[in-house]
A and B are shown apart, each in its own frame.
Chain A
Amino acid sequence: MSARPLRVVGRPVPRVDGLEKVTGRARYVTDLVLPGMAHARVMRSPYAHARVRRVDVTRARALTGVLAALSGAELTWCEPYYGPAYRDRPVLAIDVARYEGEPVAAVAAVDEATADAALDLIEVDYEPLPPVITLEEALAAGAPLVHTGKPQAGIFADLSTLRPEPGTNICHQFHFARGDSAGALASADLVLDDTYRFPPVQHYAMEPHAAVAVWSETDGLTIWASSQNPYSVRVELAKMFDVPLARIRVVVPHLGGGFGSKTYAKLEPLAAALARAAGRPVRLAASVAEAFQTVRRCAARVHVRVGFRRDGLLVAVECDADYDVGAYADIGPRVVQKATYTATGPYRVPHVELAARAVYTNTTPGGAFRGFGVPQLAWALESLVDAAADRLGRDPVELRRQNFLAHGEEFAPGDTPIDGKLEESLSRAAEAIGWTRASAADRGRGVAAMLKASVAPSVSEAIVRLHTDGSVSVLASAVEMGQGTRTVLAQIAAEVLCVPLARVTVVQPDTAVTPYDQTTSSSRSTTMTGRAVQVASEDVREQLLRITAEALGVATRDLTLDEGAVVAPARRLPYAEVLLLRFGMSGGELIGRGVIAPGRTAAPLGGSTPFWEMAVGAAEVSVDEETGAVRVERYVSVADVGRAVNPLLLEGQDEGGVVQGLGHTLLEEMLYADGHLLNGTLLLYRVPRADDAPPALECHFVENADGSGPFGAKGAGEGSLIPVSPAVANALARLTGVRLRDLPLTPERVWRALRARR
């Protein structure tokens, strides 16, 4: 690696897809129109739990303009079940509808109006069954079972040991222990034991899920999908329709936000089935109301016991978490296990016992959502750390500092050592919020920290092509969903190949064109896909150097790259000339390949995290004592990112993470009554508005270039969200003496707590 200063990496360049977006020219899946394209509509269960005795689509099918009408029972020509953890989710309900809003039948017609009219002609006989909506109901002895059969395992290696508990609604259990937590708690000077709750919340990616599918004899299935991981969608579709992977093409155009809601197959199986039945391209575009019926964050009840020595040393943590994964497992079991593995947060804890259950309920399936289960646990642990500081008479900042894992310290045997400096993030956050200065009498300050593992093992591949004019194509399948990965990947390739950013094009994901990438989630793209692009770019660079060295008869070590040219001691060869040397004509291209695949390791979950995501949040809040309304006046987020490849976009990500975190902290909760979702539209489900953002919001980055990603970068984007709830609640507790255990901190909840204090 050359030691020359970075040219493009580290600079706040505007996003490469920005122009298309500000001019309205960017095309999302819902904007696509294919010749002959039919439009789909879905009939959904009005019951949280019901036996589906009969679905008759005959009259719908007979309506002029209807091209396909499907019920679950008729899907005998494909494998109707899918799911990444368990294959427990039918494309359309078969025999049983397990949540309100579950697809029961679907039609495709020449236009939306006809499809709508056809839905009215579908007859369904339901026999309502008693539902289980809450964790308590689902875990009660003799509770009605959401699933009675034994589902097939899905696609994840680290879930090969799925542990359902037959005869209950528990679909997976996870257990992790080291040391002797019972003994350590018994001899601890301070033991705190408490239960915290995290609500089910909706991603509300502004673009609801959408897919356009078309089949052809030669190419198989092509599907344009609003997906964060086209390769996971591909493998599901291949299994369901018994088609070789090579004949399934998943294309992802611009994506209108994801936050986890578009990981793994969602609408794609149904769109593909309808397209097959219709013999035409079919567009299936969900409404936001339907997105509420597609996926949500797993709610959780987290029971934590922490033990401290009098001097503040954290000696033991026991955690017992129940996650509500809804009616179908989706990736819930993995959310539960990945998160619980790091339930001890960023602390050194010798004695640990962690257990978690993924619990089925008759509600919208719970899946991945920014933070992947960690926000639920951090809410509990970080609240308890502050409660402990209070009891120990310690400053919460100092207590955290005392117990932080150190840079290079082992988290668990076989897993990646800690690759950042938590204490630096904490100091920066404390300084920025003015921790040691007195706050105004009506303000309170709080901090919280987080640590999160990324998905492992995982694979990212990239291809970089240098064309005869010296321009570069980057082929990678990380999905641009607003986080800026397309710009970041372009910056990495531009940096390595010494070309202007404008000469680099990052191709949109297309499984027929762009190589394998496991998923765009888990804050992994900059590190994993970015590394793959870096390696592929380096591959091209080596080829440029080798060709030039051979042609000029010099050693490669005497060559450097500079602004689109190979520079030899006495000559400067623009890339076009190097390619001319190689091919003897103006044609051909250099192709570089990058594969990042750390593989399985001895780490507890079977793979070592490629990096640790770590961040600290600090909040300053005020409260209207009479109404209970909390206002976050200032917020500081500090994330240890190794290196900010694009500080402007990273700042945008983290500011967005903080405000999204404020959503579940103060406002958001999917509320059910009698099995029905009460607030499944934006009229009733309140997400943060511009005036909810803290008037002072700062996002800082710790950059020690110590990440495993390109140029020392590591993942970011989830970290800023996770500390928000505990930081705000800790601030509120320090201001008022009141500690809340249930999110969101609605005015009424806070008001009740304040009243109980008096």
Chain B
Amino acid sequence: MNLTMVVNGSSHELDVAPHSLLLDVLRDSLDLKGAKRSCDTQVCGACTVLVDGQAVSACTYLAVEADGCSLLTVEGLADGEALDPLQRAFLDAGAVQCGFCTSGMLLTARALLRENAAPSREDILHYLRGSLCRCTGYRKIVEAIMTAARTTR
């Protein structure tokens, strides 16, 4: 099936099978390896990408659903060399350890801040229900998101 999507601002036309998962298309066809496959059951959030601004689990999402959509992956977060405030805040707060959850965390936080520019700690915890990290104690991630929210406002 033909698929047209804008990924991180660049338009792509692809021929994909109906059963192709968005995660595989991004990783294998577009070489965007930032989204990771971990739990593969929509629980962990490592494969999170934004489709028209909405966070989805790319591991359980047909690529053809993204036809005509605008996608954001972690590779598109920074504006050239200029990091997104979330990326900066994650680095400074020590919210990154092994990095395997990081791209999903960043995109989830990006979606949250788009909906809610000034989230409370509870808002963040609620939004992160589907975002697992096994390295940090989450505290630094929450802190980084709050810092980024303040920086962005």
A interface residues (Cβ-Cβ under 8 A, vs B): 12, 14-15, 17-28, 30-31, 203-208, 254-259, 287-289, 481-484, 648-649, 651-660, 681-683, 687-691, 693, 697
Known A23-B77, A203-B134; further 20 A-B contacts with Cβ < 8 A: A18-B90, A24-B32, A24-B73, A24-B75, A25-B75, A206-B44, A207-B98, A257-B97, A257-B134, A289-B40, A482-B98, A652-B97, A652-B136, A655-B136, A682-B39, A683-B41, A687-B132, A689-B138, A690-B138, A697-B137
What residues of B have a CB within 8 angstroms of the CB of A12 in the complex?
94
Bound-state Cα–Cα, A505 to B97, Å: 18
Check A31 against B41 for contact (C-beta < 8 Å): no
Bound-state Cα–Cα, A660 to B98, Å: 15
Per-residue A-contact encoding for B127-153, CB less than 8 Å = 1, 0 else: 011011111111111100000000000
Bound-state Cα–Cα, A657 to B34, Å: 25
Check A482 against B129 for contact (C-beta < 8 Å): no
Does B113 have its Cβ within 8 Å of any Cβ on chain A? no
Per-residue A-contact encoding for B84-104, CB less than 8 Å = 1, 0 else: 000100111011111111110
Q: Which residue of B lies closest to A291 (CB)?
A: B38
Q: Which residue of A256, A651, A682 is within 8 Å of B100 (Cβ)?
A: A256
In angstroms, how far is the closest chain B Cβ from the Cβ of A429?
16
What residues of B have a CB within 8 angstroms of the CB of A691 in the complex?
125-126, 128-129
What residues of B have a CB within 8 angstroms of the CB of A690 in the complex?
124-125, 128-129, 131, 133, 138, 141-142
The 4 closest A-B pairs by CB, nearest first: A24-B34, A655-B137, A482-B98, A256-B100
Bound-state Cα–Cα, A483 to B134, Å: 11
Bound-state Cα–Cα, A673 to B53, Å: 43
In angstroms, how far is the closest chain B Cβ from the Cβ of A685?
9
Q: Which residue of B lies closest to A23 (CB)?
A: B78
In angstroms, how far is the closest chain A Cβ from the Cβ of B43?
4
Contact status of A288 and B91, CB under 8 A, knowing A658-B137, A683-B43, A697-B137: no
What residues of B have a CB within 8 angstroms of the CB of A31 in the complex?
27, 33
Check B91 against A689 for contact (C-beta < 8 Å): no
B interface residues (Cβ-Cβ under 8 A, vs A): 27, 32-41, 43-44, 46, 73-75, 77-78, 83, 87, 90-92, 94-103, 106, 124-126, 128-129, 131-142
What are 10 sample pairs from A and B whose C-beta atoms fall under 8 A apart?
A21-B96, A25-B75, A206-B101, A254-B99, A287-B40, A483-B135, A651-B94, A659-B138, A688-B138, A691-B125
Q: Which residue of A22, A27, A30, A205 is within 8 Å of B91 (Cβ)?
A: A22
Check A206 against B134 for contact (C-beta < 8 Å): yes
In angstroms, how far is the closest chain B Cβ from the Cβ of A237?
25
Q: Which residue of B lies closest to A659 (CB)?
A: B137
What residues of B have a CB within 8 angstroms of the CB of A660 in the complex?
134
Check A28 against B128 for contact (C-beta < 8 Å): no
By secondary structure, the B interface counts as loop
Contact status of A22 and B41, CB under 8 A, knowing A206-B132, A655-B140: no
What residues of A have a CB within 8 angstroms of the CB of B44 in the complex?
206, 682
In angstroms, how far is the closest chain B Cβ from the Cβ of A444?
21
What residues of A have a CB within 8 angstroms of the CB of B40 in the complex?
287-289, 681
In angstroms, how far is the closest chain B Cβ from the Cβ of A659?
4
What residues of A have a CB within 8 angstroms of the CB of B128 in the complex?
689-691
Bound-state Cα–Cα, A697 to B142, Å: 12
What residues of B have a CB within 8 angstroms of the CB of A289 in the complex?
40
In angstroms, how far is the closest chain B Cβ from the Cβ of A103?
19
In angstroms, how far is the closest chain A Cβ from the Cβ of B131?
7
What residues of A have a CB within 8 angstroms of the CB of B37 in the complex?
30, 287
Check A481 against B125 for contact (C-beta < 8 Å): no
Contact status of A22 and B100, CB under 8 A, knowing A659-B138, A682-B44, A689-B129: no
In angstroms, how far is the closest chain A Cβ from the Cβ of B92?
6
In angstroms, how far is the closest chain A Cβ from the Cβ of B32?
7
Check A22 against B83 for contact (C-beta < 8 Å): yes
Check B39 against A693 for contact (C-beta < 8 Å): no
What residues of A have a CB within 8 angstroms of the CB of B142 in the complex?
690
Bound-state Cα–Cα, A615 to B5, Å: 52
What residues of B have a CB within 8 angstroms of the CB of A481 in the complex?
98
Q: Which residue of B lies closest to A663 (CB)?
A: B134
In angstroms, how far is the closest chain A Cβ from the Cβ of B73?
7
Check B140 against A21 for contact (C-beta < 8 Å): no
Bound-state Cα–Cα, A361 to B29, Å: 43
In angstroms, how far is the closest chain A Cβ from the Cβ of B118?
18
Most buried by B among A28, A207, A481, A687: A207
What residues of B have a CB within 8 angstroms of the CB of A23 in the complex?
34, 74-75, 77-78, 83, 87
Contact status of A259 and B34, CB under 8 A, knowing A24-B74, A483-B97: no
Q: Which residue of A27, A28, A482 is within 8 Å of B97 (Cβ)?
A: A482
Bound-state Cα–Cα, A579 to B36, Å: 44
Bound-state Cα–Cα, A27 to B92, Å: 21
Contact status of A207 and B96, CB under 8 A, knowing A659-B138, A689-B132: no
Contact status of A24 and B33, CB under 8 A, knowing A206-B132, A690-B141, A697-B137: yes
In angstroms, how far is the closest chain B Cβ from the Cβ of A691?
4
Q: Which residue of A21, A25, A259, A653 is within 8 Å of B134 (Cβ)?
A: A259
Q: Which residue of A lies closest to B93 (CB)?
A: A648
Check B98 against A255 for contact (C-beta < 8 Å): yes
Q: Which residue of B lies closest to A482 (CB)?
A: B98
Q: Which residue of B lies closest to A259 (CB)?
A: B134
What residues of A have a CB within 8 angstroms of the CB of B124 in the complex?
690
Bound-state Cα–Cα, A31 to B23, Å: 12
Contact status of A687 and B134, CB under 8 A, knowing A483-B97, A682-B39: yes
Check A656 against B97 for contact (C-beta < 8 Å): yes
Bound-state Cα–Cα, A23 to B95, Å: 14
In angstroms, how far is the closest chain B Cβ from the Cβ of A91?
24
Bound-state Cα–Cα, A20 to B75, Å: 10
What residues of B have a CB within 8 angstroms of the CB of A656 in the complex?
97, 133-137
Contact status of A682 and B102, CB under 8 A, knowing A207-B36, A482-B135, A658-B137: no
Q: Which residue of A20, A288, A648 is within 8 Å of B39 (Cβ)?
A: A288
Q: Which residue of A27, A28, A205, A693 is within 8 Å of B137 (Cβ)?
A: A693
In angstroms, how far is the closest chain B Cβ from the Cβ of A397?
24
What residues of A have a CB within 8 angstroms of the CB of B103 in the complex?
24
Check A22 against B106 for contact (C-beta < 8 Å): yes
In angstroms, how far is the closest chain A Cβ from the Cβ of B153?
21
Bound-state Cα–Cα, A205 to B97, Å: 12
What residues of A have a CB within 8 angstroms of the CB of B141 in the complex?
690
